[in-house]
Chain A
Amino acid sequence: MSEVALKGLMKRFGATSAIEDVSLTIGDGEFVVLLGPTGAGKTTLLRLAAGLDHPDAGRVLIDGHDVTQEPPAARDVTFVFQQYSLYPHLSVYDNLAFPLRSPLRRTPEAEIRRIVHDVADLLRIADKLQNRATHLSGGQMQRVAIGRALVRRPAIALMDEPLSSLDAKLRADLRIELKRIQQELGATLLYVTHDQTEAMTLATRVGVLREGRLVQLGTPREIYESPADAYVAGRLGHPPINLLSRRLFPDLAAPGATATIGVRTEHLEIARASDGPRAGPVGTVSWIEHLGDQNHIHVAIENEKTVSLVDPDTPLAVGDLVSIGLRAPLFFDGKGARVQA
């Protein structure tokens, strides 16, 4: 386990720029999650780090050594692919043993057996070792794939949306599992995903990728509470942050450049307008959505829509006039960049 640094990485595919000047240092034992939608360059960045693709510019350093020109095998990294994570023609045991049997490592079989059994215990798949890899459920397969990436204690484990093919319940279970395993092993991880929950719960630091650029890097809390721009603010939080025009809040003290006001659902204060005069605009309740675990209230203010959370037994009903109060608003300029209050 060691420190990994990506410096000024660039990668183009023809006219598309997949990675644009990304620099990032992942400390020993750190769990860095990069968050971005499909096409943001997540897979490309991991492939550059692994040495499967060569950057057009920039360097990859592992423990201070420049490995940019080294082949994947020489980098001491592991990779969990988004798909095709296990060798279908091998048993679970042989899949886990595969990296240990490589000509670079040549681990004695007795040692392999010990390591594989340890990992199987850690992953809770000890009873599945003799199964063919294809005879596992999706969740077990990903569990083995994650195990395989960690067995040989790499300098860094690279994981490309390893949970994205699983259903919601399994994804939640494995997420917790992965965090436990990472902490138990003290593993260094660079993990990419489009799932904000994974980013928030797994990461020691989150990076937000947008069209090949790393737009912000920080602890999950920093990213959530203090997003660098409206894009980052919109990536985190569910339902997403409300972005409202400055002109709806003429009385609000805001920096001069402010064009848009961002307010998270939990920071919207909604009260019946008839309950007394209050600062802020008045809107109309357009819809109340009961999702079971959450209840969303949709309020229209002039032509703009906001969503907030309400109690399941809220007295509010569709058509009611409500006043809108803001707590901890965020200010963005016309280009979406954050303006500090």
Chain B
Amino acid sequence: MSANAHSVVEPSAGAKLAASVLVILYACVALIPLLWIGLTSIKSPPDSIAYPPKVVPFVHFTPTAEGFCNLFTTRSRQTPDYIAGLPPSTGGCDEVARSRNMVVVGASNYVPRFVNSLIIAFGSTALSIVLGTAAAYAFSRFRVPLKDDLMFFILSTRMMPPIAVAIPVFLMYRELGLSDTRLGMILLYTSVNVSLAVWLLKGFIDEIPREYEEAAMIDGYTRLQAFWKVVLPQATTGIVATAIFCLIFAWNEYAFAVLLTSGAAQTAPPFIPIIIGEGGQDWPAVAAGTALFLLPILVFTVLLRKHLLRGITFGAVRK
């Protein structure tokens, strides 16, 4: 063994190169769909379905905001005569719509659906983290009767695909009046995520020596105060990593959202495909909706990437 037990064997230059090539190749494959979404969102509807595909902006096609206009507005088709008789357009999306013999009649539901997604995903993440941290702390520190069995039960709730219980949940929500409510969706996603949160967070809290809390309690703090002042600050990395996992699940969830929401609480994932139905196959609008939908997770993850990386490698790399 080397003198330093934590050190990992330094990879050779060849191995590093091979690893870089692999990562880049994988990134290319993984990023192509994202690139395609981005390109489609700035194409006109005919360009988006042209064959052979148009790839390079300004060379193969002229970028346009039509997809975004169609995403955010609802339009109705009118005769050219009617449009000619209207007052001059206000520019922007109005102009784009008129060039297709349409007039803008109002805002689409994209923004409210997006807001629903934000509220439901962040709400359920916050709730999962609060419940998960409390439960994980209790499991980590206290003598809980049947602790192992309870932990296994919590894990077992993740052992089947959540959608397997879709019909009971649907019936239950109808009875409880939780169908198509934000609260209902927050509770549902929380119930799925909280098991993951308990398990991940218990691992993180187990790693925090209990001597810190004991020291605080000797110094005159109650256990709850010691938890706030000593445990929580040291658990942030784990909490952030767990929050990102919870958020990604809740943000992307599609099946329950289709089943349980249709209006007031509908999230973006079931809404985006609906756009296709409205007046032809509007792929640029779908792509625009998807591209914007990807942004919050991207921002959240990039902002917290340091925590995330440390969090993911936490249990694996022992001191």
A interface residues (Cβ-Cβ under 8 A, vs B): 50-52, 71-73, 75, 77-79, 81, 83-85, 87-89, 98-99, 102-105, 152
Contact = CB atoms under 8 A, between A and B. Distances in A.
A176 B227 CA distance: 36
A87 B208 CA distance: 11
A104 B218 contact: no
A89 B216 CA distance: 13
A83 B209 contact: yes
B222 A72 contact: no
Interface in B203-219: 209, 211-212, 214-219
8 contacts: A75-B218, A77-B218, A78-B218, A83-B211, A84-B212, A89-B234, A102-B220, A152-B219
Contacts of A78: 218-219
A72 B219 CA distance: 8
A32 to B, nearest CB: 19
A105 B218 contact: no
A71 B217 contact: yes
B127 interface: no
B221 interface: yes
Contacts of A98: 216, 219, 229
A73 B211 contact: no
B222 A73 contact: yes
Contacts of A104: 220
A87 B232 CA distance: 12
Given A79-B214, A81-B211, A81-B215, A99 B220 contact: yes
B106 interface: no
Residue among A72, A83, A103 with most chain B CB within 10 A: A72
Contacts of B220: 73, 99, 102-105
Nearest to A76: B220
Contacts of A103: 220-222, 225
A79 B230 contact: no
Contacts of B219: 73, 78, 98-99, 102, 152
Contact of B218 (A79, A83, A85, A89): A79
Interface string B171-191: 000000000000000000000
B234 to A, nearest CB: 6
B233 interface: yes
A84 B212 CA distance: 7
Contacts of B234: 88-89
A51 B217 CA distance: 10
Interface in B224-249: 225, 229-230, 233-234
Contacts of B230: 87
3 closest residue pairs by CB, A with B: A102-B220, A104-B220, A99-B219
Contact of B211 (A77, A84, A99): A84
B217 A72 contact: yes
Contact of B233 (A71, A89, A105): A89
Given A88-B234, A89-B234, A103-B225, A72 B212 contact: no
A78 B218 CA distance: 6
A82 to B, nearest CB: 8
Nearest to A152: B219
Contacts of A152: 219
A72 B225 contact: no
Interface string B109-144: 000000000000000000000000000000000000
Contacts of A85: 215
B218 A72 contact: yes
A73 B221 contact: yes
Contact of B214 (A72, A89, A102, A105): A72
Given A71-B217, A99-B220, A102-B219, 17 more contacts: A52-B217, A72-B218, A73-B219, A75-B218, A77-B218, A79-B215, A84-B209, A84-B212, A85-B215, A89-B233, A98-B219, A102-B216, A102-B221, A103-B222, A103-B225, A104-B220, A105-B220
A79 B234 CA distance: 21
Contacts of A77: 218
B212 to A, nearest CB: 6
A103 B226 CA distance: 11
A105 B218 CA distance: 12
B218 A73 contact: yes
A74 to B, nearest CB: 9
A152 B229 CA distance: 19
A43 to B, nearest CB: 11
Residue among A77, A98, A152 with most chain B CB within 10 A: A98
Contacts of B209: 83-84
B230 to A, nearest CB: 6
Contact of A50 (B218, B221, B233): B218
A259 B225 CA distance: 59
A87 B217 CA distance: 13
A73 B218 CA distance: 5
A231 B211 CA distance: 32
Nearest to A95: B215
A171 B214 CA distance: 25
Residue among A102, A104, A152 with most chain B CB within 10 A: A102
